[in-house]
């Protein structure tokens, strides 16, 4: 039987982490080590944490996101795993976050600067600035009313141009639109 591993209670306060969804068989034989008031269950191992929950995103004073499996599961409760090294510090004051756009899926995600995949090209922003840019990019991806003021041949090319500027510069959306029109 594996020795119980218990991180300190403050280990997860003010953290950002991306969990990867795994199949329920991953926790077979593990014991629940913490039950939250909201119904989430936590399983700790030497390698990391499994979290079984029906809610992800902002959690009290942390930001934990779940990257889903390619084949969607039908249950409300999703099981995610994150290695201990994947928990990064979070606060509202520092420029900790950068954005990544997936143009084929028309989605945008934020990542932490401590992510080993960060190449220092995307601009780092505070939580507030990141949230604002995410909303702008989602609107560019999902709406078309803004595009009627532009002369363009391909809306997807125009979207990509604007979104790249939003990710890789500190130029405001209004300034970007003015420069393009």
Encode pLDDT of 105-149 as tens digits. 999 999 999 999 999 999 999 999 999 999 999 999 999 999 998
The whole-model pTM stands at: 0.87
Could you tell me if 67 and 21 lie in one domain?
A: yes
Is residue 54 domain-resident? yes
The whole-number average pLDDT for the span 65-93 is: 90
pLDDT at 136: 98
Higher-confidence position of 56 and 61: 56
Is residue 2 domain-resident? no
Higher-confidence position of 7 and 99: 99
Is residue 3 domain-resident? no
Please, what is the angle between helix 155-168 and helix 173-180, to 10°?
Answer: 140
Overall domain count for the chain: 2
Is residue 160 domain-resident? yes
> At which of 27, 57, 88 does a domain end?
88
Could you tell me if 83 and 155 lie in one domain?
A: no
Could you tell me if 44 and 68 lie in one domain?
A: yes
Is residue 36 domain-resident? yes
Q: Is the pLDDT of residue 79 over 50?
A: yes
Domain span at 44 = 9-88
Could you tell me if 82 and 123 lie in one domain?
A: no
Q: Which of 47, 133, 38 is nearest to 77 (CA)?
A: 38
pLDDT grade, residue 10 (50/70/90)?
low
pLDDT grade, residue 1 (50/70/90)?
very low
Between the alpha carbon of residue 165 and those of residues 5, 101, 140, 175, the distances in Å are 45, 12, 12, 10
Backbone torsions φ then ψ of 40, nearest 5 degrees? -80, 145
């Amino acid at each position: 039987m594996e020795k119980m591993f218990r991180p300190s209670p403050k280990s997860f306060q003010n953290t950002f982490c991306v969990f990867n969804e795994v199949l329920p068989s991953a926790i077979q034989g593990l014991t629940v080590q913490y039950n939250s008031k909201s119904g989430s269950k936590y399983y700790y191992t030497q390698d990391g944490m499994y979290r079984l929950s029906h809610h992800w995103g902002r959690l009290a004073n942390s930001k934990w996101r779940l990257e889903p499996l390619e084949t969607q599961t039908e249950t409300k409760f999703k099981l995610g795993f994150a290695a201990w090294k994947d928990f990064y510090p979070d606060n509202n004051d520092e420029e900790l976050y950068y954005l990544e756009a997936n143009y084929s899926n028309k989605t945008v995600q934020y990542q932490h600067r401590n992510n080993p995949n960060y190449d220092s090209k995307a601009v780092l922003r505070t939580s507030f600035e990141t949230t604002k840019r995410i909303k702008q990019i989602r609107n560019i991806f999902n709406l078309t009313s803004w595009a009627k003021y532009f002369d363009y041949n391909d809306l997807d090319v125009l979207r990509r141009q604007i979104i790249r500027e939003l990710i890789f510069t500190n130029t405001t959306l209004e300034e970007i639109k003015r420069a393009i029109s």
